[in-house]
C-alpha cells in the first residue's frame, strides 16, 4: 500500500508499505477513504514529540471502509463505512468504564500518562496511523462507528478529532449563561471551541491569534470578536481592558506547546530544545482569566517545560481542566448538532490533498501558507 512515512523533522514522504495484517481477533483492517492532517501532527513533524520513529505513518483523523475483521469482531462487518476516533481504547478498563477513553490503561505499553493514539509516536503506543491506504484498527468493536447515511464524509472525518476536541475545550470551561469566553488559537480546534461556546450559553466569545486569515474565519465560522495579538504590546492587558478589568470567566487554550508570541520562550524551546515547548498561550490564559475562573486546556503539551505561572493560578483560585479529548463520548450530542446544522465541520476545510502529495500538504499547513486551515488527505483509491 501507499503510506505517508516520517523520515525526520520536517521530512515526510510517501512510500510503499505492507498492508497491515490482523494481529488480534478484535482487530479490523480499514481501507481509508479520507484522512486529515491535525495541528497535533505538526508537533510530530517538527520533531517536538519524544520517540517519534523514522518509518512511522502518522494520521489520527480518518474514515474508511472495513476491509477485513478479526474472528471476535461483532459490531462491524466487511464493507461497513466507519469513522474512527483518534483514541485507541479498550472500553472496559477502570478509566474507559468512566468515559475517560483517552486515558485508557490497556493500550499503551510505553507510558502510563497517556493512552493510545493512531500514528502519534511510540510515546502514544506506537500505532501506525491513517495517512495511508489501509490502517489496522485495534478494539474494532469499541472505537469505530458506522457513518450515518445523512452525514457528509468531510463532516465525518472532522468528527474523529478536530470537532470533538474543540467542543470538549468549551465543555471543560464549564461555561454558564452569559460568560465571557476567550479562546487562544484560531486553528480548527480553537474555531470549533469558539463556535461551541455559544452552544453552551456564552454571552461573549473572543478569539485571539496572529494570523489574520484565521481570525477572519473566527468571525464568520464562530461569530467571535477577534484580536490579533501581534498588534498589541500585551494581549493580556487588552483582554483585561475589554472585560472591565476583571478578566474573562473562561479561557480556552487551543494552541499548545508550540505557541508563538514570546521570543525567549521560542528560542529556549523550538530552537535550543532546552524545554519541551513554550507555555506562552497557557500563561496568557492564566493571566487573562478572572480570579476564580476556569482555564480549559486542549492545546497539546508534552514533556517538561519551565516558567508556567502556576503560582498565579493558585493565588487566583483558578480551576484548570484539561485532557486529550475522549472523542466517542462527544459523538451523540455532536451528531445532533451537525445534523441540525448548528455546526458545519466541513466549512473548516481549505485543502484536499492527494496522499501522494502529502509532503507538500505538511509544508503548507505547517507554514500556514495559502490560507490553510484544515487540510484533508485523499488516498488514490478512495
Ligand atoms: N487535547 C486533544 O485531544 C487535542 C486534539 C487535537 C488537537 N490538539 C491540539 O490542539 C492545538 C490546536 O490544534 P489545531 O489543529 O487547531 O492546530 P493549528 O496549528 O492549526 O492551530 C494553532 C493556532 O494557534 C495560533 N497561535 C500560536 N501561538 C499563539 C498564541 N500565543 N496565542 C494565540 N494563538 C496562537 C496559531 O497561529 C494557529 O492558528 C494543538 O496543540 C493540537 O496538538 C489537542
Ligand atoms: Zn489531532
Ligand atoms: Zn480502557
What confidence tens digit (pLDDT) does each residue in 241-292 have? Answer: 999 999 999 999 999 999 999 888 888 887 777 777 889 999 999 999 999 9
Per DSSP, the three-state class of 28 is strand
Residue 265's contacts (CB-CB under 8 Å, 6 or more residues apart) are 259, 278, 279, 280, 307
Ligand 1 atom with least separation from CA of 210: 37
Cα of 169 vs centre of ligand 2, distance in Å, is: 13
- Interior angle at CA 143, CA 142 and CA 146, nearest 5: 100
Supply 50's cell numbers.
519524544
What local confidence, expressed as pLDDT, does residue 17 receive? 98
What local confidence, expressed as pLDDT, does residue 113 receive? 84
Residue 190's H or E segment, with its range, is helix 188-199
Cα of 317 vs centre of ligand 2, distance in Å, is: 30
With beta carbons less than 8 A apart as the criterion, state whether 261 and 229 touch. Answer: yes
Bridge partners (DSSP) listed for residue 4 = 14
Give the distance from CA 95 to its chain's centroid.
Answer: 20
With beta carbons less than 8 A apart as the criterion, state whether 252 and 281 touch. Answer: no
Probe target for ligand 1 pocket from 279, 286, 299, 367, with the most ligand atoms within 8 Å of CB: 299
Pick from 31-35, 287-291, 302-306: least confident: 302-306
What local confidence, expressed as pLDDT, does residue 97 receive? 97
What is this structure's pTM?
0.98
Return the number of other C-beta atoms located less than 10 Å from residue 181's C-beta: 29
Per-residue buried b or exposed e for 88-105, using 16+ beta carbons within 10 Å of the residue's own CB: bbbeebebbeeebbbbbe
Of residues 301 and 345, more confidently modeled = 345
User: What's the pLDDT band for 162 if we cut at 50, 70, 90?
Assistant: very high
Is 164 close to ligand 1, i.e. is its CB under 6 Å away? Answer: no
End-to-end CA distance of the chain: 13
Q: Read off the pLDDT of each residue in 160-175 and give the average, rounded to a whole number.
A: 98
Residue ID of nearest Cα to ligand 1 atom 43: 40
| pLDDT, the chain, mean | 96
With beta carbons less than 8 A apart as the criterion, state whether 282 and 258 touch. Answer: no
- Give per-residue pLDDT as tens, 187-232: 999 999 999 999 999 999 999 999 999 999 999 999 999 999 999 9
Specify whether the backbone of 201 is left (phi greater than 0), alpha (psi in -120 to 50) or beta.
left
Return the ligand number nearest the Cα of 350.
1
Strands 204-209 and 134-137: unpaired
Q: In what order do the strands lie in the sheet with 289-297?
A: 225-228, 204-209, 180-184, 248-253, 289-297, 319-322
Output phi, psi for 337, to 5 deg: -65, -40
Residue with cell 445534523: 339
By percentage, how much of the chain surpasses pLDDT 90? 91
Ligand 1 atom with least separation from CA of 297: 1
d(CA 238, CA 54) in angstroms, rounded, equals 44
By percentage, how much of the chain surpasses pLDDT 70? 99
As a dihedral over the C-alpha atoms of residue 127, residue 377, residue 26, residue 164, rounded to 10 degrees, the angle is 90
Output phi, psi for 338, to 5 deg: -70, -45
d(CA 98, CA 117) in angstroms, rounded, equals 19
What local confidence, expressed as pLDDT, does residue 318 receive? 98
Q: Read off the pLDDT of each residue in 106-119 and give the average, rounded to a whole number.
A: 92
What local confidence, expressed as pLDDT, does residue 273 receive? 76
Residue 339's contacts (CB-CB under 8 Å, 6 or more residues apart) are 148, 150, 151
d(CA 360, CA 234) in angstroms, rounded, equals 35
d(CA 236, CA 221) in angstroms, rounded, equals 24
Half-sphere exposure of residue 43: CA atoms within 13 angstroms, side-chain side: 25
Is 80 exceeded by the pLDDT of residue 381? Answer: no
User: What's the pLDDT band for 305 if we cut at 50, 70, 90?
Assistant: low
Supply 217's cell numbers.
474565519
What local confidence, expressed as pLDDT, does residue 274 receive? 76
Amino acid at each position: 500500500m501507499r503510506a505517508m512515512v516520517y523520515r525526520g523533522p520536517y521530512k515526510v514522504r510517501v512510500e510503499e508499505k505492507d498492508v497491515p495484517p490482523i494481529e488480534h481477533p478484535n482487530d479490523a483492517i480499514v481501507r481509508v477513504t479520507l484522512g486529515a492532517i491535525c495541528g497535533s501532527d505538526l508537533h510530530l513533524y517538527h520533531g517536538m514529540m519524544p520517540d517519534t520513529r523514522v518509518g512511522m505513518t502518522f494520521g489520527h483523523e480518518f474514515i474508511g471502509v472495513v476491509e477485513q475483521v478479526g474472528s471476535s469482531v461483532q459490531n462491524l462487518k466487511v464493507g461497513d463505512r466507519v469513522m474512527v476516533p483518534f483514541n485507541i481504547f479498550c472500553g472496559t478498563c477502570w478509566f474507559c468504564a468512566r468515559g475517560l477513553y483517552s486515558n485508557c490503561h490497556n493500550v499503551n505499553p510505553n507510558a502510563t500518562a497517556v493512552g493510545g493514539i493512531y500514528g502519534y509516536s511510540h510515546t502514544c503506543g506506537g500505532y501506525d496511523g491513517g495517512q495511508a491506504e489501509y490502517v489496522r484498527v485495534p478494539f474494532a468493536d469499541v472505537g469505530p462507528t458506522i457513518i450515518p447515511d445523512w452525514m457528509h464524509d468531510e463532516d465525518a472525518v472532522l468528527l474523529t478529532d478536530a470537532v470533538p476536541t474543540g467542543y470538549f475545550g468549551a465543555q471543560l470551561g464549564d461555561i454558564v449563561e452569559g460568560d465571557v469566553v476567550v479562546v487562544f488559537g484560531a486553528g480548527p480546534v480553537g474555531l470549533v471551541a469558539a463556535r461551541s461556546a455559544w452552544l453552551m450559553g456564552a454571552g461573549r466569545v473572543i478569539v485571539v491569534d496572529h494570523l489574520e486569515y484565521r481570525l477572519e474565519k473566527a468571525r464568520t465560522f464562530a461569530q467571535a470578536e477577534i484580536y490579533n495579538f501581534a498588534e498589541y504590546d500585551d494581549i493580556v492587558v487588552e483582554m483585561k481592558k475589554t472585560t472591565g478589568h476583571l478578566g474573562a470567566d473562561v479561557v480556552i487554550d487551543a494552541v499548545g506547546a508550540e505557541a508563538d508570541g514570546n521570543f525567549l520562550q521560542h528560542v529556549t524551546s523550538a530552537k535550543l530544545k532546552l524545554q519541551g515547548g513554550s507555555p506562552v498561550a497557557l500563561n496568557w490564559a492564566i493571566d487573562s482569566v478572572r480570579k476564580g475562573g476556569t482555564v480549559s486546556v486542549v492545546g497539546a503539551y508534552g514533556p517538561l517545560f519551565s516558567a508556567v505561572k502556576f503560582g498565579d493560578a493558585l493565588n487566583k483560585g483558578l480551576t484548570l481542566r484539561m485532557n486529550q479529548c475522549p472523542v466517542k463520548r462527544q459523538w451523540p450530542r455532536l451528531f445532533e448538532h451537525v445534523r441540525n446544522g448548528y455546526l458545519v465541520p466541513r466549512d473548516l476545510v481549505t485543502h484536499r490533498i492527494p496522499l501522494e502529495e502529502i509532503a507538500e500538504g505538511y509544508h503548507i499547513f505547517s507554514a500556514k501558507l495559502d490560507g490553510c486551515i484544515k487540510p484533508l488527505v485523499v488516498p488514490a483509491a478512495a
